[in-house]
């Protein structure tokens, strides 16, 4: 049952991600590839397919991302700015590393809108609201001391130590490869795009950057944490995929990815070697 719910949630998030890309015209084409890549990346390891806090928090962050992109060139966007902070904070309460994304919210506003101090206050109010609600409930239930220590608990780690953990190869290798591919394709993403689309694509890059930062400082790093990176990288890889002119090459790469997924799930390499 838990795996079925996880698969359903991944499907909903993939559809939501496609909606964000189509609505904000981040690609020249109306494509469903961002959602497809997100499903592939989220299913890459068997341990990622269960109802984890990271997976639930991803949905809340998608809402925050949609609200953030919706603030572009809106004279009055106080409600949406508040929602950005609110849903990032909610995602952080569900999965602690998302609290780092509060900084992402400030950077996103700075990229999409001119600086206004009152809008920063609105974002901060959105961040504080879930914390106040949760704190009030815990105080009412006379368990205030454990409010944030249990929910926001996660261990920090030195960046170098990520490579010494058991899942280092399975987690860092795909992350590094896809991050390098996305960065190298930046000029192709923004080429012949409107200023609005370019700024929103920058937002996706910032999201990927914060996912990399959160991966590098957590201890232990689990495979479920990879879903944070998958959420940001899927759309960028999809846009790079669309730049391939050869249809046969596109199909071949897709088959290779699906084959890699089967290898990871059924542990075929250990049976062959």
For 75-91, the pLDDT digits (tens) are: 888 899 999 999 999 99
Cβ pair 80, 99 in contact under 8 A: no
* Mean pLDDT to the nearest integer, 99-123: 90
Nearest Cα neighbor of 226 from 77, 68, 46 is: 46
| pLDDT confidence tier of residue 221, bands split at 50, 70 and 90 | low
* pLDDT score recorded for residue 7: 86
Q: Report pLDDT digits (tens) over 16-41.
A: 999 998 998 887 778 888 888 888 88
* Mean pLDDT to the nearest integer, 90-113: 90
* pLDDT score recorded for residue 88: 94
First-to-last alpha carbon distance for the chain, in angstroms, is 34
**Integer Cα distance of 123 and 78 in angstroms:** 9
Would the pLDDT of 193 be above 70? yes
Helix (H, G, I), strand (E, B) or coil at 179: helix
Would the pLDDT of 183 be above 60? yes
Q: Which of 104-113, 160-169, 254-263 has the lowest mean pLDDT?
A: 160-169
Could you tell me the CA-to-CA distances from 90 to 49, 59, 131, 162 in Å, in that order?
22, 10, 8, 27
Q: Report pLDDT digits (tens) over 196-220.
A: 888 888 898 899 888 888 776 665 5
| pLDDT confidence tier of residue 271, bands split at 50, 70 and 90 | very low
Phi, psi for residue 244 in degrees, rounded to 5: -70, 125
Would the pLDDT of 45 be above 70? no
* pLDDT score recorded for residue 192: 74
Would the pLDDT of 273 be above 70? no
Computed from CA positions of residues 149, 150, 151, 155, in that sequence, does the dihedral angle turn out positive or negative?
A: positive
Q: Which of 11-20, 141-150, 177-186, 219-228 has the lowest mean pLDDT?
A: 141-150
* pLDDT score recorded for residue 217: 66
Long-range pairs, 122-125, Cβ under 8 A, ≥24: 122/78, 122/81, 122/82, 122/85, 123/81, 123/82, 123/84, 123/85, 124/85, 125/82, 125/85
Average pLDDT, the chain: 78
* Full-model pTM: 0.82
| pLDDT confidence tier of residue 73, bands split at 50, 70 and 90 | confident
């Amino acid at each position: 049952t838990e795996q079925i719910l996880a698969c359903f949630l991944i499907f909903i998030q993939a559809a939501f991600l496609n909606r964000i890309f189509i609505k904000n015209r981040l690609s020249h084409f109306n494509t469903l590839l961002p959602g497809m890549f997100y499903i592939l990346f989220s299913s890459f390891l068997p341990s990622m397919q269960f109802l984890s806090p990271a997976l639930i928090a991803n949905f809340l962050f998608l809402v925050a991302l949609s609200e953030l992109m919706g603030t572009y060139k809106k004279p009055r966007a106080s409600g949406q700015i508040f929602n950005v902070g609110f849903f990032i904070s909610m995602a952080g309460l569900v999965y602690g590393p998302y609290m780092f994304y509060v900084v992402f919210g400030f950077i996103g506003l700075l990229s999409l809108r001119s600086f206004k101090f009152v809008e920063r206050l609105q974002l901060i109010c959105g961040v504080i609201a879930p914390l106040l609600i949760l704190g009030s409930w815990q105080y009412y239930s006379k368990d205030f001391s454990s409010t944030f220590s249990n929910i926001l608990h996660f261990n920090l780690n030195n960046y170098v130590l990520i490579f010494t953990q058991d899942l280092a190869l399975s987690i860092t290798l795909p992350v590094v490869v896809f991050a390098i591919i996305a960065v190298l394709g930046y000029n192709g993403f923004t080429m012949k795009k409107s200023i609005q689309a370019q700024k929103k694509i920058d937002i996706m890059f910032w999201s990927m950057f914060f996912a990399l930062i959160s991966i590098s400082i957590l201890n232990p790093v689990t495979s479920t944490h990879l879903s944070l990176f998958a959420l940001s990288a899927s759309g960028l890889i999809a846009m790079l995929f669309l730049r391939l002119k050869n249809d046969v090459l596109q199909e071949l790469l897709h088959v290779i990815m699906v084959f890699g997924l089967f290898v990871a799930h059924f542990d075929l390499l250990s049976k062959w070697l």
